Amino acid sequence: MMQSSVRTPHTRAGRRRSRALASIAVCSAALLALAGCSAPGGTSNQNSAIKDPITAPVTAEQVKALGNITLNVWADQGEQELMKSIVPAYEKEFPNVKVQIQFKSFNDLTATVLNAMNSDTAPDVTQGNQGWATDGALVKAGLIRPLDDVVQAYGYAAAAGAAASQLKWSSDGKTFGSGSFYGMSPDNQMVGMFYNKTKLASLGLSVPTTLDELKTALAKAKAAGEIPITLGNSDKGSAMQAFSVVQGGMTPAADTVGWVTGKSGSDFNTATNKQALDLWASWAQDGTISPGYDGTSPDDAVAAFAKGSGVFYLGGNWQAGTISDGSTFGFAPAPAGAGNTAASNGSFGMPWHISSKSKNTLAAIAFIGLINGPDSGHYLADVNRVPVQLNGVQVADPMFTDLINASKVQLANNGALYYYDWSTPTMFDLFTSDLQEVMAGKLSSSDMLSAVQKNWTDFQAKS
């Protein structure tokens, strides 16, 4: 039946088909016209005038003039604990404002924040993420307000020091690391070494402060049948951060930071980076790093370490929530290498931004001012996060004391290296995938380094 109707187009079925085809053609043309006539994307809304500039911290009277309002906030779910104390304090000081927070997982937040901030119902305040993919895109699209006046009024610039460069952009979003402040972040997050005190003591070792001491400690731990380094890398990013402990000990931090922030002429494909990569890969292959790391989630690895598996865990100080027992565990900054360099990945926490579309800019400034202001340190310390502003912070817990001291040492030495993947929007994927392959012996370190540098050069040439 169907076959015959195809062959004889004069039947009704055949005509109906050609009519259907015609109507599909008409509809598609109409849809193309509907969807298509203009290029996607609205007009650029570069706000040259800064809304409600301030010269001193926002007062309750100024906010009161806004009437009864709701302040809409987007935040990472890791902020939940901190917000439990910040929000009541804020609503007490500014009683006409009700704070409404939406918490998102890190991946959800970074994947959707750009579209949310571009929508007509953009939140007044949001967290972003340093680097081109999120903060750079927000600045480029003119969606967040420059904060130079806020940073001055709340005494933040002095406390942040040189590390402030991670919050700075040119107003067209094309230069990272200099220009205006676009975000503020209250805490210092860094990668370092968690160590098991009990195991170090039974191996007769002290906490390594140089790369050579670390190598000796790892070899001794391995000989004694311990797992020297516990690692979980199913997220692909954890090995990259752990590797920075080695890389930061071999390559001067200023070179790496320059490369990450796109300083022209920077090169990652260097002899010291190759040495670092080869050393790191040899640890993956000779069993210094726990087996099955690519199939283990970082959360599982941290939990295993906290239960006594492994001598070292190289990771972020934010894992102190799980590795919290200060009587068994300690935290130390990255060990120093031959050139007396000592650095590792790290940055401030996810920066807070104010929407350039906000109708309640003063209330928004008051909110991030409370989080980042000179007297905010105790709120962070209460939830075991290392504050940038240390005024009046009291510390009793031994693990938290380690975190504060490590942060001081890191910032006094060479500072943080930031993160390699900030360098280009596609770097996370490339760096982490290639690092997995180098660790598995499937890719040479020099091939990885030239691929990484090529990605960087291509991106710099484009922007």
Among 6, 31, 158, 224, binds other proteins (CB under 8 A): 31
Q: Which is nearer to other proteins, 59 or 297 (CB)?
A: 297
Q: How far is the CB of 10 from other proteins (least distance, A)?
A: 7
Q: Which is nearer to other proteins, 10 or 92 (CB)?
A: 10
Q: How far is the CB of 69 from other proteins (least distance, A)?
A: 26
Scan residues 66-125 and list those touching other proteins (CB under 8 A).
110-112, 114-115, 118
Does position 48 interact with other proteins (CB under 8 A)? The reply is: no
Does position 222 interact with other proteins (CB under 8 A)? The reply is: no
Does position 291 interact with other proteins (CB under 8 A)? The reply is: yes
Does position 225 interact with other proteins (CB under 8 A)? The reply is: no
Residue of 186, 205, 114 lying closest to 425 (CA atoms): 114
Q: Are 167 and 152 in contact (CB under 8 A)?
A: no
Scan residues 401-460 and list those touching other proteins (CB under 8 A).
425-426, 428-429, 432-434, 436-437, 440, 442-443
Q: How far is the CB of 168 from other proteins (least distance, A)?
A: 20
Does position 126 interact with other proteins (CB under 8 A)? The reply is: no
Q: Determine the interface stretch with other proteins among 39-47, 57-65, 272-280, 361-369 (rule: CB under 8 A).
A: 39-47
Q: How far is the CB of 119 from other proteins (least distance, A)?
A: 10
Q: Which is nearer to other proteins, 149 or 434 (CB)?
A: 434
Does position 174 interact with other proteins (CB under 8 A)? The reply is: no
Does position 296 interact with other proteins (CB under 8 A)? The reply is: yes
Size of the residue set binding other proteins (CB under 8 A): 55
Does position 293 interact with other proteins (CB under 8 A)? The reply is: yes
- Cα separations (Å) of 101 from 76, 80, 117, 367? 10, 9, 15, 12
Q: Which is nearer to other proteins, 39 or 49 (CB)?
A: 39
Does position 39 interact with other proteins (CB under 8 A)? The reply is: yes
Give the angle 442-445-448 at the CA atoms, nearest 5°: 85
Give me the torsion for CA of 159, 164, 166, 171, rounded to 10°: 140
Among 58, 82, 122, 137, binds other proteins (CB under 8 A): 137
Q: Are 62 and 90 in contact (CB under 8 A)?
A: no
Does position 3 interact with other proteins (CB under 8 A)? The reply is: yes
Does position 40 interact with other proteins (CB under 8 A)? The reply is: yes
Among 36, 161, 287, 308, binds other proteins (CB under 8 A): 36
Whole-number Å distance between alpha carbons of 14 and 7:
9
Q: Which is nearer to other proteins, 143 or 311 (CB)?
A: 143
Among 21, 22, 32, 224, binds other proteins (CB under 8 A): 32
Among 297, 340, 391, 450, binds other proteins (CB under 8 A): 297
Does position 148 interact with other proteins (CB under 8 A)? The reply is: no
Does position 141 interact with other proteins (CB under 8 A)? The reply is: yes
Whole-number Å distance between alpha carbons of 86 and 91:
9
Residue of 159, 133, 149, 155 lying closest to 182 (CA atoms): 149
Whole-number Å distance between alpha carbons of 217 and 204:
9
Whole-number Å distance between alpha carbons of 344 and 317:
12
Amino acid letter, residue 202: S
Among 9, 161, 287, 292, binds other proteins (CB under 8 A): 292
Q: Which residues bind other proteins (CB under 8 A)?
A: 1, 3-4, 8, 10-12, 27-28, 31-32, 34-36, 39-44, 110-112, 114-115, 118, 133, 137, 140-141, 143, 233-236, 291-297, 300, 425-426, 428-429, 432-434, 436-437, 440, 442-443
